[in-house]
Structure 1
Amino acid sequence: MGKTASDLRKDGWPPDEMQKYHPWQAAARYTEDPDAVARRGRAMEVSREAARVLKKKYGAKRVVLFGSLARSSLFAPTSDIDLYAEGIPGDLFFEAEAEIEKIAKGFKVDLVETKECPPHLLREIEDEGIYL
């Protein structure tokens, strides 16, 4: 039986084991799995619905999906939904966040606003995000 990453961490990383370890292959297998594809589709639906609510009810000027869901090859079984929202008034942000959690249908959602967003993350969002 093969070793897990935890086993290799405890026992060290023998060179022969390192040559066999290709994490991108596991990620590629996951992206082709029908259940994983369906889960990603549901996460995208939740993201679009969340964006609609954030714009219509909370005045968001723009909503951007970023993180592993935006980069579909990195979306894994434990991945959450990362959304950047711009323009939600500060006094409504926590209410908006609570409503999005209700919409999430079993997904964890991280809602990020402009003033909480460090410059490096904002660059990533601008460069790799999906505008919803």
Structure 2
Amino acid sequence: VKIYAAEPEQADDAARSFKAGHIIADDAPVTVADGLKVPLKELTWHFVSNHVTDILTASEQEIIDAMYLIWARMKIVMEPSSAVPLATILKNKDVFAGKRVGVIITGGNVDLNKLPWNV
């Protein structure tokens, strides 16, 4: 089993940390995926550095597009942070082609009056 993590490009401290081999902390990143703005901490870093194969990132528009796709096709209310995994899968199809893929998706904490595709 390979474990891939996903982050917004605008809040990619874990991806940069993974490549550097040590924690690189971000301070107040700006992203539509506000649930992923929290900086990487030691406990999480332990699991990332020991069990994650790679960390993929998605742009703000890719996150919004994935969120919209989930809403439209699956009829699931999902916040932007939870759409990041699908956004990275769609962006990196070659990594996942021909493989069985499981995606953990959670979170419907979204203000219906501020949907990102209505901005």
Scaled by the length of structure 1, the TM-score of the pair is: 0.26
If each structure's strand is expressed as a fraction of its own residues, which one has the higher value?
A: 1
Which protein shows a greater Rg?
1
